[in-house]
Amino acid sequence: MRVSLALLLPLLAIVLTASAAARADDAPPPKPTREQLLSALPGKRLSYVSHSGRTVQWVSNADGTAMLNISPALGSKHASGASAPGRWSVNEHGKYCMDEDWPTDHGGPNHWCRNVTFDGDGAPVLETRE
């Protein structure tokens, strides 16, 4: 059976358009600028999972401070977690940075910087640690 090129071209155009649209939907969200982060992050709750599997969460206060709270360890005899003060900022590369002031029995001070994106609801999401 012979198929006309005139019939195949519109079909090919539809397939290519659908393929390009699917790739655009899979693209990561654009990285916010430093100024956008400084404007959007005060008052927002952020969190990450520590190397030990415990959740650390806090609210980024407008004055650059935060009170970090860590969940209790699984299987721990202690029913509560721990808290420590912190200071957040956005560096010149547009990364969210945190200085965590944990006591030595919780690992001591910790400094890190990560990229931040926003999910579909506008909530900030930290990149995972490598």
Say how far apart CA 130 and CA 127 lie, in whole Å: 9
Is pLDDT of 127 > 70? yes
Residue 29 lies in a domain: no
pTM for the whole thing?
A: 0.73
Residue 116 structural domain: 34-126
Residue 41 sits in a domain whose CATH number is 2.40.128
Is pLDDT of 63 > 80? yes
The tally of domains found in the chain comes to: 1
Decide: helix, strand or coil at residue 93. Answer: coil
Residue 11 lies in a domain: no
Which pLDDT tens digit goes with each residue over 84-104? Answer: 999 999 999 999 999 999 998
